[in-house]
Amino acid sequence: MTPFMEPFFAGNSYDTPDDAPHFLGDRLALNTRWYFAGKYIREVFRSRAIALSGLYDRKAWAESSYRVLKIIEGCGGRFHLRGLDNLHSCQGPVVFISNHMSILETMTLPCIIAPFIKVTFVVKESLATHPLFGPVMRARAPILVSRKNPREDFQTVMTKGKELLAKGTSIIIFPQSTRSAEFIPEEFNSLGVKLARAAGVQVMPVAVKTDFWANGKYLKDLGTVNRSKPIHMVFGQPFSIQGTGKDEHKKIIDFIIGHLRQWGASIKV
């Protein structure tokens, strides 16, 4: 696939260099969350201003996502990305199906995927109406779900999802009901598989370990950061759905569990 823009990660893998610069301000802040949080919020305000001006397009989204990734690296985060060639070789839209640990993957996946593939998220309605994040989220035309009425949410994802996929836009789905550092297979629904089956497109499993950036107790998006925890993301080979999709759903769960075990993550089985 010819990239839409110059990719930030052109090879099959990426590892944060050992000599990557560490922000002096982060060191002076004694490696607490506050310097990191300040840099992150500043980038959110920057993106918000671009979105309000009507200029937050796919390129601007990817660039702002990359700046967040570099902020994370500058505050001690170490990324390990694998399977990037599976993104490069996509011949059409896919449904990305991933576990969901923290806001980190929401903020950084665009700079990895968007240079190659037109993509959007399935997100909670509350994010689209949030006074800070709302303009940014709405600018990327996500699929909005309430998380209050499962039947209505299912119909929304299936209807709008098929429309977007038919127009060439891939979709990122986090089937878990909420972000969690612990992976619970029973809470990982099959919505992404059902959408891909109905739309006649492939799925791409994604496994992430992003507990570097924890979920906050009071402000969920501004939790603590743990610089001892590496950040892992792996993109699997895309595959088609056969029959009911039950076997493919299990294949995705097994893919995620297999990598989480390699990384020492918590799994409830």
Residue 19 in domain: yes
- Tell me what pLDDT residue 249 has: 98
Residue 266 in domain: no
- Tell me what pLDDT residue 223 has: 83
If you average pLDDT over residues 53-59, what whole number do you get? Answer: 97
Q: Could you give the residue ranges of the DSSP H alpha helices within 53-175?
A: 58-74, 84-88, 103-113, 125-129, 134-139, 150-166
Percent of the chain with pLDDT over 70: 98
If you average pLDDT over residues 129-134, what whole number do you get? Answer: 89
If you average pLDDT over residues 32-58, what whole number do you get? Answer: 95
pLDDT over 80 (residue 19): yes
Instruction: For residue range 217-238, list pLDDT tens digits in order.
Output: 756 777 899 999 999 999 999 9
pLDDT over 90 (residue 147): no
Question: In terms of residue numbers, what domain contains 238?
Answer: 14-261
Residue 160 in domain: yes
If you average pLDDT over residues 234-257, what whole number do you get? Answer: 97
Residue 28 in domain: yes
Going across the sheet that includes 170-173, the strands are: 14-15, 79-82, 231-235, 202-209, 94-98, 170-173, 119-124, 143-145
Q: Are 168 and 58 in contact (CB under 8 A)?
A: no
- Tell me what pLDDT residue 218 has: 59
If you average pLDDT over residues 133-137, what whole number do you get? Answer: 93
Residue 172 in domain: yes
pTM of the model: 0.95
Residue 243 in domain: yes
Q: Are 241 and 248 in contact (CB under 8 A)?
A: yes
| CA 98 to chain CA centroid, nearest Å | 8
Query: Number of folded domains in the chain?
Result: 1
- Tell me what pLDDT residue 162 has: 98
If you average pLDDT over residues 44-48, what whole number do you get? Answer: 96
- Which neighbouring-strand residues pair with 145? 124
